[in-house]
Amino acid sequence: MTGAQASYLKTLSEEADEAFDPELTKAEASRRIDALQARTGRGR
């Protein structure tokens, strides 16, 4: 994943009280970000 994805995903993971996986690919990180945005209400 990119540095920007990692940073944002860390923030979302903390807000959702979920584990952050630093080994995700760019595509996996994108899907995870979408899922966590839906869960936390961000990105609307």
Q: Is 25:2 a contact under the CB 8 Å cutoff? A: no
Tens-digit pLDDT profile for residues 8-22: 999 999 999 999 999
pLDDT of amino acid 43: 78
> pTM of the prediction?
0.89
Residue 40 identity (one-letter amino acid): T
Taking only the tens place, the pLDDT of each residue in 31-43 is 999 999 999 998 7
- Map tokens 């595509």 to a residue: 27
| Residue ranges of domains in the chain | 3-40
